[in-house]
Amino acid sequence: MKNKNNLKIGIIGIIIVMLLLAFLFSKDNSELISESSFQTLLKTTPPAEMSIDEKYIYFFINDKSYKVARIGIDTSLLRDIPIKVKSDIRFSNFFYFAIILILLTFIFILLWKKRLNIQSSNNSPLMQNETSRFIQNKNSESSNPSFSMNSLVRFEDVAGIKEVKEELIEIIDYLKNPQKYQKLGISLPKGVLLVGPPGVGKTMIAKAVAGEANVPFFYQSGSSFVQIYVGMGAKRVRELFSKAKANAPSIVFIDEIDAVGKARGEGRNDEREATLNELLTEMDGFQDNNSVIVIGATNNIEVIDEALLRSGRFDRRIYVELPDLNERIQIFKVYLKNKKYDFNLLEISRMCVGFSGAMIASVVNESALNAFKRGSEIIELRDILDVKDKVALGKKKILSLTEEEKNILSVYQCAKALSAYWLDIDFDKVTLVSDFIIDRDKDILSKSEMNNKIKVYLSGIIALEIIMNEKYTNAKEDIKKIKSIAQEMCEVYGMGQNIITTDLDISRIISNAYVEQMEFLNNCKQNIISLAKILLEKERLTKENIQEIIEDAL
């Protein structure tokens, strides 16, 4: 039994040695250096000889192996150095490895013939575990923080970015046909910075550019460059750009670039600054014929170092805004392409003001799940209404309300809904506990419109004073919004009594709105009470329901 165990160990050892040798012969241990470092080495310590393949130039200096991307290297610098084709070296390495492999195989066959009864042990769990563990270690050692892929995304897959597409079409054409532009002396922009709030599709846009141009796409997140070890971040930057140059034309996409590109000086971090300096150097080192473009993405451009934003690095900045009404309709169409639905896209899109593309995708998915729970294959309007607020605000804790609290909330919410109806502030429904005001999809708002919104948020507070003769703590969020709107009116848009705003201007806007709304709601007291009774019973009223109730009362 002991001999069998020894033979098992021996066979496993041979297999591991074979795999290890294969790994050692195939692994490239050369240090990847930048073009500037290569030129410095040539001047100070020229190598005795070099070897080349399709992508890299290899050489030894002081018994250390180096490699540099071939593209952009001035071949006149290499005329005095003997050069070999790398494939020949690989062939000779493979030849030596083949001889060793044959010898090890011969030894294995002799052992196998000696103990035929151990053949079944070749597939033992021990061997499988050791082999798989070795392969996993090999994969982990050879893993790289940056990776390339061929993007399958096209512009037709990204809805709601018409203006952004127009900005990027010429870059795509340049990547496809660089000679056409180079003949006219036109160079490729070195960098494009996509700026916009989270979820608007900055990553998808970068993938679509790579997909349309049919070039390799190197993805890297800004945070992955930030290391605790000195020099590691800069090394990763060099490796990323050298690989991109070796595979040119290509695209380097750095997501959340503000993580590595923050302004230097404040909260000094030597490692992060060294990484940023390397990034600046690499972007400066690109030649016009490299056909490599860097696309960065951020939602916080204010913190990025000015050196990274100057011309010659990020030559073009593209602002990706939240989708407008027509763009939201297009995005809904994309995500509903393979789903059955029965609702008006225009109506739903109007309800989703301020939603990003990612949020719309979540709304569609959540509403499909909601329909599935109902046992339906068709997404209906009620499914959208059930999940819309959850996607925008997160699922709220279900409140356990007393009858008195329900009465207070029904009066409060109905006063706001009635005021919104008469003051033409858009909403789709009113419930006992959630906010229901919709921000209009408008670029320009008048002072009257902003005043009307303040009046709506004041309405619940005033109605409780009129009907309950009391004030309550549920007005906290509305008071925050009232202050915010009034402050914005004065400090941002100059709508106060004085251009240079004072606290008195803000207070005056709120006080005037309060007085006017108090008079309006005093005249609507019975309508509020009637609506509150119905809301208390149904717990939800649509805008159409409120319109019918008001018309019946008139």
What digits encode the pLDDT tens for the residues 181-205?
A: 878 887 777 788 898 888 888 888 8
Spelled out in words, what is the top-level CATH class assigned to the domain 403-553? Answer: mainly alpha
pLDDT at 125: 40
Q: 392 in helix, strand or coil?
A: helix
Domain boundaries, the chain: 2-142, 147-319, 332-393, 403-553
Asked if the domains 332-393 and 403-553 are classified in one and the same CATH topology, the answer is no
Q: What is the pLDDT of residues 29-84, one digit of tens each?
A: 778 787 777 777 777 777 878 888 777 888 888 778 888 887 767 666 676 777 76
H helices of 75-114, in order, are 86-114
pLDDT at 119: 44
Whether the predicted pLDDT of 465 surpasses 80: yes
Considering the four listed CATH numbers 3.30.300.20, 3.40.50.1000, 3.20.20.70, 3.30.720.210, the one that applies to the domain covering 2-142 is: 3.30.720.210
Name which residue leads in pLDDT, 463 or 213: 463
Considering the four listed CATH numbers 3.40.50.300, 1.20.1050.140, 3.40.50.960, 1.10.10.10, the one that applies to the domain covering 147-319 is: 3.40.50.300
Helix or strand run (H / E) with residue 436: none
pLDDT at 45: 78
Count of alpha carbons within 13 Å of 53, Cβ hemisphere only?
14
A 10 A CB-CB count for 110 gives 9
Spelled out in words, what is the top-level CATH class assigned to the domain 332-393? Answer: mainly alpha
| Residue 62 DSSP code | T
Q: 28 in helix, strand or coil?
A: coil
Res. 528 pLDDT band, cuts 50 70 90: very high
Which of 143, 146, 127, 135 is closest to 23 using CA atoms?
A: 135
| Residue pair 495/447 in contact by the 8 Å Cβ criterion | yes
Give buried/exposed letters for 139-156 (b at 16+ CB in 10 A, else e): eeeeeeebebeebebebe
The alpha-carbon radius of gyration of the chain (Å, integer) is 34
